[in-house]
Amino acid sequence: MRTGAGVKKFLKQEPISSVGPKGHRHTIIRQFCKGCRICVEFCPTGTLDLDDRFKITVAHPERCIACRMCELRCPDMAIFVQKGSRDQETEGSSAGPKSEVRMTKPDHPASGVKREA
């Protein structure tokens, strides 16, 4: 997460940031979390839980698949997830690097596909 100087001056605490064993970074702004459990309930792997102060915590970072369901569902924007680098994800697998899929329109310059008139 890139918290700019404008956001940081309003925070009472610095955001808590941690990197799990798969290289995925979780950034939590505890001040924004109201303990609604939406992120906990939508997490498909059970990575998240609430602590004793009813604030979000990464209870099982090894389970995280970086699907970002918690980030997308959080009504208070209290959690952010950054996927680990490809080197860390493919480490130990013989499949090699994964191919990247780009979703663009056929006429868009970045697509590399040109329509004939």
The pTM of this model reads 0.64
> What ranges in the chain are assigned the alpha helix state H?
5-8, 38-42, 69-73, 86-90
> In terms of pLDDT, which residue wins out, 55 or 115?
55
Name, in order, each residue with C-beta under 8 angstroms of 67's C-beta and a sequence gap of 6 or more: 44
pLDDT of residue 56: 94
Q: How confident is the model at residue 99 (pLDDT cuts 50, 70, 90)?
A: very low
Where do the domains of the chain lie, and which CATH numbers do they carry? 14-85 (3.30.70.20)
pLDDT of residue 86: 52
